[in-house]
């Protein structure tokens, strides 16, 4: 048996399938795949491999390189109990802001009733291609690939698509060819009914962001959305208050036609993190309608979304990297 063969055999019981070994001129080079192991387990296996290798015949020096495959992709759902609170706007812009921080992000528009991401990201009318049964996300101009129910559900047939067909289409989008995307932002349809429950149950997001406007009614609906995620043990990343105060397009002064702070107070009451607020601004609606997402620009709105993305990023790091 060569020295390499005997070292391989010696390592088999402690690093079966994880170690690639080569010995040259007494130098053992070992590539150790530590995918799926936490830090303590990595340190332990590395120490064990080093000990065995240093004691192996024909070895005078040991070099170990740790490698790890890409983390599994994580889904972050953006949800609200009530429609029209700005879920899609926030999902799109937080995805873009997160991508600007260097995260590899994809966006899934699961809204069968009113898919809006193709308009927000200016790829209306572009149908996703497929390789066999695998969908290929549409590249947008903002560093975030997109798949939208809009491309899969025949127009005007949302009602007929309720239930299992919509579930199947969502599965196809989540399992699409996302390349090296590590985070998928999932724009859920509004509401807390069976459709949303099934989607969440089946795809088990790593976390959920709840969007609410400051009004009491919206907050009651938000609480319902929170309940839905609690029911299936999906952690809440936090609450975002949208349309909080009106920023005057002329002077920038913020007034509170609908009040503000309600979502933060509600989050505090429920013991949930509050991620931040986005003011009601004409510029946000106009840019969104024009397919020119504010998070991709350099104005104050971009900063607002960058701050929200930073909070999400912190959460991602604290919850697995
Ligand atoms: N902070 C904001 N300032 C101004 N307009 C906003 C703001 N947030 C969202 N909007 C506008 O409000 C409308 C509804 O937003 P959006 O489509 O994101 O809500 P939604 O919760 O996804 O709605 P749906 O429940 O129908 O999916 C859009 O016209 C959007 O441009
Ligand atoms: Mg929407």
- Averaged over 83-95, what is the pLDDT? 96
* Residues contacting ligand 1 via CB (< 6 Å): 80, 83-89, 111, 114, 116, 190, 242-243, 278, 280-281, 284-285, 288
Q: Are 295 and 94 in contact (CB under 8 A)?
A: yes
Structure tokens at 103: 């995260």
Domain 74-318, classified CATH 3.40.50.300, yes or no: yes
128 versus 165: which is more confidently predicted? Answer: 128
Question: Contact 188/111 with Cβ under 8 angstroms?
Answer: yes
Q: Does the annotation flag 276 for ligand binding?
A: no
In this predicted structure, the answer to whether residue 55 has a pLDDT above a threshold of 80 is: yes
Distance 87 CA to ligand 1 centre (A): 7
What's 3-67's CATH class?
A: alpha beta
Residue 280 CA, ligand 1 centroid: distance in Å: 10
Residue 115 has pLDDT above 90, yes or no: no
As beta bridge partners, residue 207 has: 76
Nearest CA to ligand 1 atom 5: 285
The residue whose CB lies within 8 Å of the most ligand 1 atoms, and thus the one to mutate among 80, 83, 84, is 84
* pLDDT at 158 (0 to 100): 67
Local confidence band at 113 (pLDDT 50, 70, 90 cut-offs): confident
233 in a labelled binding site:
no
Is 30's pLDDT higher than 90? yes
CA distance 47 to 39: 12
Q: What band does 321 get if pLDDT is binned at 50, 70 and 90?
A: low
Q: Which of 82-86, 135-139, 162-166, 203-207 has the least mean pLDDT?
A: 162-166
Residues of CATH 3.40.50.300 domain(s) within the chain?
74-318
Domain with CATH 3.30.70.2210 in the chain: 3-67
């Amino acid at each position: 048996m060569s020295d390499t063969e005997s070292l391989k055999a010696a390592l088999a019981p402690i690093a079966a399938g994880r170690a690639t070994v080569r010995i040259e001129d007494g130098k053992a080079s070992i590539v150790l795949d530590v995918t799926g192991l936490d830090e303590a387990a990595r340190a332990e296996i590395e120490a064990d491999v080093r000990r065995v290798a240093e004691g192996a015949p024909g070895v005078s020096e040991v070099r170990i390189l740790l490698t790890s495959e890409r983390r599994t992709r994580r889904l972050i759902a953006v949800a609200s109990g009530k429609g029209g609170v700005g879920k899609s706007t926030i999902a799109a812009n937080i995805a873009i802001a997160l991508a600007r921080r260097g995260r590899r992000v994809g966006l899934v528009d699961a809204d069968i009733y009113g898919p809006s991401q193709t308009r927000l990201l200016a790829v209306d009318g572009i149908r996703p291609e497929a390789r066999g049964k695998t969908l290929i996300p549409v590249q947008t101009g903002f560093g975030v690939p997109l798949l939208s129910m809009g491309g899969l559900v025949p127009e005007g047939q949302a009602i007929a698509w309720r239930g299992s067909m919509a579930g199947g289409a969502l599965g196809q989008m989540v399992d699409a060819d996302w390349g090296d995307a590590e985070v998928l932002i999932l724009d859920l349809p509004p509401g807390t009914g069976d459709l949303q429950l099934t989607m969440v149950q089946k795809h088990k997001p790593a976390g959920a962001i709840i969007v609410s406007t400051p009004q009491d009614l919206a907050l009651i609906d938000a609480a319902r959305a929170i309940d839905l995620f609690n029911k299936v043990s999906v952690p809440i990343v936090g609450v975002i208050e949208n349309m909080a105060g009106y920023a005057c397009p002329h002077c920038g002064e913020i007034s509170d036609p609908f009040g503000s702070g309600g979502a933060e107070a509600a989050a505090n009451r429920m013991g949930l993190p509050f991620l931040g607020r986005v003011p009601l601004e004409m510029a946000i609606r106009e840019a969104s309608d024009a397919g020119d997402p504010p998070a991709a620009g350099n104005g104050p709105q971009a900063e607002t979304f960058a701050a929200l993305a930073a909070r999400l990023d912190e959460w991602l790091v604290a919850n697995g990297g």
